[in-house]
């Protein structure tokens, strides 16, 4: 026989008191990478600031390649394929392709953002004498709906080839 004493929370729990409910902040979305929440919160840690959630969504969009998102094959900037072939092409060509891909995907999947600039910086040195290289993509963006126009994220990608 199943014991229901351990399932759920009781209404007499201090979390559900009226003064706690008024001070409680409404979560916007799940933080990534996933972290386990504490005993007073939900199962996973959540964002409460919409700007932080949008920045997290943007970082996930840039780091996702085509075919990695279940049910949305074309979701993501698909930078792995572009950066793998960067040694075979001119540096300005792959940088333009990366910038075009990033801006196209952002306007398609995150239309609430306005892109101010996208900077692609390849780091010349190799890591431990291997063929692994590092590329830094810095995206400056604004969110007109939140009246926050000067925001930026930095995504570091490692690629081989």
pTM, 2 dp = 0.77
> How many Cα atoms are found within 13 Å in the side-chain-facing hemisphere of 136?
8
Q: How far apart are CA 67 and CA 85, in angstroms?
A: 19
Q: Which residue has the higher pLDDT, 97 or 21?
A: 97
Provide, rounded to the nearest whole percent, the portion of the chain with pLDDT above 90.
39
Whether 56 and 80 have beta carbons less than 8 Å apart is answered as no
CATH hierarchy code of domain 49-160: 3.10.450.40
Mind listing the pLDDT tens digit for each residue in 50-79?
A: 999 999 999 999 999 998 889 999 999 988
84 contact partners, CB below 8 Å, separation of at least 6: 159, 160, 161
Question: How do residues 5-36 score in pLDDT, each as one tens digit?
Answer: 666 666 676 666 655 544 567 888 899 888 88
Cα–Cα distance for residue pair 122/95, rounded to 1 Å: 9
Report pLDDT for 105: 95
């Amino acid at each position: 026989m199943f014991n229901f004493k351990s399932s759920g929370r009781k209404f007499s729990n201090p979390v559900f008191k009226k003064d706690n409910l008024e001070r409680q902040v409404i979560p916007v979305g799940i933080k990534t990478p996933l972290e386990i929440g504490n005993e007073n919160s939900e199962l996973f840690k959540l964002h409460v600031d919409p700007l932080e959630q949008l920045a997290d969504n943007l970082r996930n969009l840039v780091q996702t390649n085509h075919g990695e998102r279940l049910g949305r094959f074309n979701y993501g900037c698909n930078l792995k394929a572009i950066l793998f072939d960067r040694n075979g092409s001119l540096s300005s060509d792959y940088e333009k392709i990366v910038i075009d891909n990033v801006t196209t995907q952002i306007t398609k999947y995150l239309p609430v953002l306005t892109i101010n600039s996208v900077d692609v910086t390849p780091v010349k040195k190799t890591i431990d004498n291997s063929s692994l290289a590092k590329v830094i993509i810095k995206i400056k963006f604004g969110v007109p709906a939140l009246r926050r126009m000067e925001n930026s994220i930095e995504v570091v990608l490692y690629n081989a080839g």
